[in-house]
Amino acid sequence: MSMKTSDKGILEIAEHEGVVPAPYRDSVGVWTFGIGHTAAAGGLDPREMNSAMPADVDAAVMRAIDVFRQDLTKYEARVNAAIKVPLKQHEFDALVSFDFNTGGIHRAQLTKAINRGDKDAARHFMGWLRPAEIYNRRKAEMRLFQTGDYDHNGDSIPVWRTDGKGNLKGILRTMWGGEMLALMRPPPAAEPDTPPANWVAAIVKAIWVAIERIKR
């Protein structure tokens, strides 16, 4: 049975990546949008988007989360296909974060070591350290794989502003984990005669359910 990223795993990736509602160049110059989305993930190409900050930031954040949801499904499938041995949930989450960032799950020594049963396979997370700024993320992924220790709890997911030319210009606001998870799992479409108030109640309920999941 295929594994899915846990709520804690989703927040781990989101807090590593942040949310940028306009296209920007990452630390190695790759055009990126939203929550770490690049053209390599398929679908939307940030290079073809308007680089200006959107007038409606909330709508752009929702679009970013929708793209993230689609990307996550792709990377989950890649990890499920690459790893041939049973994984614990925290191990799977760590590997999805790794592949989301590197795209290297199918060729990494890490994967080969896991599949041959190497008890010290996690050390191979540290074989992917370019650019240098990624060091702390690799350490966090390695620790998560080894111990199940989630560094991030979604208390502070930064939403960044850009200068309209592809450069980050500081944090616009922060999102919290319950908000992120509720937006990742929007309520089902309402019946035509459903009063708008029911939508509000559904969203509030989804947020509280997400909070309880994080606390577990």
Q: Tell me: pLDDT of 159 over 60.
A: yes
Which amino acid, residue 38? T
Which of helix, strand or coil describes residue 5?
A: coil
Architecture in CATH for domain 7-177: Orthogonal Bundle (1.10)
Domain ranges of the chain: 7-177
Identify which of 127, 104, 100, 132 has the alpha carbon closest to the alpha carbon of residue 17: 100
- Res. 152 pLDDT band, cuts 50 70 90: confident
Which amino acid, residue 107? R
- Res. 185 pLDDT band, cuts 50 70 90: confident
- Could you tell me the end-to-end alpha-carbon distance of the chain, in angstroms, rounded to an integer? 24
- Res. 215 pLDDT band, cuts 50 70 90: low
| Cβ atoms 34, 21 nearer than 8 A | yes
At residue 77, φ and ψ (nearest 5 deg) are -65, -40
62-93 per-position pLDDT tens digit:
999 999 999 999 999 999 999 999 999 999 99
38-59 per-position pLDDT tens digit:
999 999 999 999 999 999 999 9
Q: What is the pLDDT of residue 1?
A: 77
Q: Tell me: pLDDT of 19 over 90.
A: yes
b/e per residue 143-162 (b: at least 16 CB within 10 A)? bbbbeeebebebeebbbbbb
Range with lowest mean pLDDT among 8-17, 118-127, 194-203? 194-203
Distance CA 163, CA 200 (A): 34
Identify which of 196, 175, 171, 138 has the alpha carbon closest to the alpha carbon of residue 58: 175
Q: What is the pLDDT of residue 212?
A: 65
CA atoms within 13 A on the CB side of 36: 24
Sign of the dihedral defined by the CA atoms of residues 24, 28, 29, 32, in that order: negative
β strands within the chain, DSSP E: 20-25, 31-34, 157-162, 168-175
